[in-house]
Amino acid sequence: MPTDDRNSPVTPFTLQQFICGPVRTNVYVLINPETREAAVVDPAPESRTAIERFLASNRASLTTIVLTHRHFDHVGEAGPIAEATGASIAAHASDVDYLSVPQRTRFMPGYVNPAAPVRVPLVDGDVINLAGTPFVVMHTPGHSGGAICLLHDVSATLFSGDTLFAGTFGRYDLPDSDAPALRSSLIRLAGLPGGTRVLPGHGRETTIGAEGWAADPPLYRGL
Ligand SMILES: [Zn+2]
Ligand SMILES: [Zn+2]
Please report whether residue 9 resides in a domain: no
Q: What is the pLDDT of residues 168-212, one digit of tens each?
A: 999 999 999 999 999 999 999 999 999 999 999 999 999 999 999
Nearest listed ligand to the Cα of residue 144: 1
Cα separation, 8 vs 16, whole angstroms: 22
Is residue 7 pLDDT above 70, yes or no?
no
Mean pLDDT on 14-19: 97
Neighbours of ion ligand 1 (CB under 5 A): 71, 162
Question: What pLDDT does 115 receive?
Answer: 97
- The alpha carbon of 177 and the centre of ligand 1 are apart by a number of angstroms equal to 9
Nearest listed ligand to the Cα of residue 70: 1
Nearest listed ligand to the Cα of residue 202: 2
Is the Cβ–Cβ distance between 32 and 11 less than 8 Å? no
Question: What pLDDT does 6 receive?
Answer: 47
Nearest listed ligand to the Cα of residue 147: 1
CA-to-CA dists, residue 138 to 15, 52, 70, 104, 131, angstroms: 20, 28, 15, 27, 18
CA-to-CA dists, residue 53 to 36, 119, 154, 169, angstroms: 14, 24, 29, 32
Please report whether residue 7 resides in a domain: no
pTM for this structure? 0.94
C-alpha angle 139-158-48 in degrees, rounded to nearest 5: 90
Lowest mean pLDDT among 22-31, 129-138, 214-223: 214-223
Backbone angles phi, psi at 2, to 5 degrees: -65, 145
Neighbours of ion ligand 2 (CB under 5 A): 73, 162, 201
Structure confidence at residue 107 as a pLDDT band (50, 70, 90): confident
Mean pLDDT on 42-69: 97
Please report whether residue 29 resides in a domain: yes
Please report whether residue 5 resides in a domain: no
Per DSSP, the residues of 35-74 read T-EEEEE---TT-HHHHHHHHHHTT-EEEEEE-SSS-HHH
Nearest listed ligand to the Cα of residue 171: 1
Q: Which has more confidence, 9 or 107?
A: 107
- Count CB-CB contacts under 10 A for residue 80: 14
Backbone angles phi, psi at 169, to 5 degrees: -135, 170
Please report whether residue 173 resides in a domain: yes
E-strand ranges in 78-147 read: 88-92, 103-104, 112-113, 120-122, 127-130, 133-139
Please report whether residue 152 resides in a domain: yes
Nearest listed ligand to the Cα of residue 73: 2
3-state DSSP helix/strand/coil % of the chain, to nearest 5? 20, 30, 50
Q: What is the pLDDT of residues 128-150, one digit of tens each?
A: 999 999 999 999 999 999 999 99
- The alpha carbon of 91 and the centre of ligand 2 are apart by a number of angstroms equal to 15
Pairing mode, strands 112-113 and 103-104? antiparallel
User: Domain limits at 149?
Assistant: 14-215
Question: What pLDDT does 56 receive?
Answer: 97
- The alpha carbon of 134 and the centre of ligand 1 are apart by a number of angstroms equal to 24
What is the domain-level CATH number for residue 126? 3.60.15.10
Nearest listed ligand to the Cα of residue 170: 1
- The alpha carbon of 69 and the centre of ligand 1 are apart by a number of angstroms equal to 7
Is the Cβ–Cβ distance between 203 and 73 less than 8 Å? no
Structure confidence at residue 9 as a pLDDT band (50, 70, 90): low
Is residue 223 pLDDT above 80, yes or no?
no
Please report whether residue 84 resides in a domain: yes
Nearest listed ligand to the Cα of residue 176: 1
Please report whether residue 2 resides in a domain: no
- The alpha carbon of 69 and the centre of ligand 2 are apart by a number of angstroms equal to 8
Total domain count for the chain?
Answer: 1
Q: Helix or strand or coil: residue 27?
A: strand
